[in-house]
Amino acid sequence: MISSLVGILKKDSLKKRTISFLHPYLEGRRNEIIKGIYPSQHLWGISAIESQKEWITNIIRTKNLFPPNFFEKILNRLIFRHKSNIRIELASLIASKNTRLIYSACGPLALSRFYSKTKVVSWVFRPPAYEHTSTFDPYHPVNLNANSGFFCLTPNAEKYFSQFAPSKFIPWCVDLDMFDASPPREKPVKPFFLASGKTGRDYHTLVNAAYQNEAEIRIIGPSIQKPRVLPPNVN
C-alpha cells in the first residue's frame, strides 16, 4: 500500500510530501486503539504511513465544522445523499488547498473534481449497485476520474475501478492480536467470540446464544444496535 502511494507521489518535487487522512470514523478513537480496546485495522494503514518520516501527515477533522443544523440536513438530503455528507466534503475541500494527497478511508468524494493540484486515493469495497447520475455523487464517473488511485477490498472492485484510475486489490488486514483474544494490557483467561461491523449483524441472536454458554463475547458495533440487556459474559 505504501509503495503505491509513493508511486502516486513520485513526480512531486517537494521534499516534504503532505498526506491528509480522511477517516471520520477514526476521530476520537485513536486512544481506544492504543489501549487495545478497539481494532487497529480501523486505522487502514494510517499508522504505517505516519511512520514514514519523509512525509508530513495530518487528520482531516470533520467534526470541527459546525454548519447550521438545518443547512446541513437540507444539503445532505438534497445533494449529498449517497456515501457522503456536507461535513466530509467541506472539510476535504478545505484540506485540499494545503495538501498534496488526500487518503480517503471512507471512499470516494463528491467534490474531488474541484481539487486543483491535490491527488486523491480512496478505499472502495464493491462496484456501484446502480448508475449514479448526479455529479454530486461520489460514484459518478466525473468524480471517480478525479481519483489518482483506488485501494480495493475485492477483486471485482479492482476490475471496475481500474477504468477510472490505477487500482490495486488489497485484502482487508485484521487485527490478529485482538481477534486472537490477546490485546495489549489484557490477558483473557477464556476464549471469546468477537462480532464487529453494522451491516446485517444480528446482535440479538448473538446475545441470546451467549446465555447458553460461558464463553466471553465481545461486540464492537454501533451503539444504536446495542441490545438493552446483556448477560455478564458479553462486553
Q: How far is CA 1 from the centre of its chain?
A: 15
Q: What's the pLDDT score for residue 179?
A: 47
Q: What are phi and psi of 228, to 5 degrees?
A: -70, -35
Q: How far is CA 116 from the centre of its chain?
A: 24
> In terms of Cα–Cα distance, which of 216, 221, 227, 226 is closest to 193?
216
Q: Is 232 exposed, middle or buried (0-12, 13-18, 19+ CB in 10 A)?
A: exposed
Domain 2-169 has CATH 1.20.1440: no
| Cell 477504468, residue located | 163
**What is the rounded average pLDDT for all residues in the chain?**
79
pLDDT at 18 over 70: yes
pTM score: 0.70
Cα angle vertex 172, ends 166, 178, to 5°?
A: 155
Locate the domains of the chain by residue range. 2-169, 188-225
Locate 35 and state its grid cell: 489501549
pLDDT per position as a tens digit, 46-80:
888 888 877 888 889 887 776 666 666 666 666 66
What's the CA gap between 72 and 90, in Å, rounded? Answer: 11
Locate 99 and state its grid cell: 495538501
pLDDT at 188 over 60: no
| Alpha-carbon separation of residue 223 from 33, 110, 193, 197, 198 (angstroms) | 17, 28, 19, 11, 10
Indicate the length of the chain as a whole number: 235
Average pLDDT over every residue of 148-166? 92
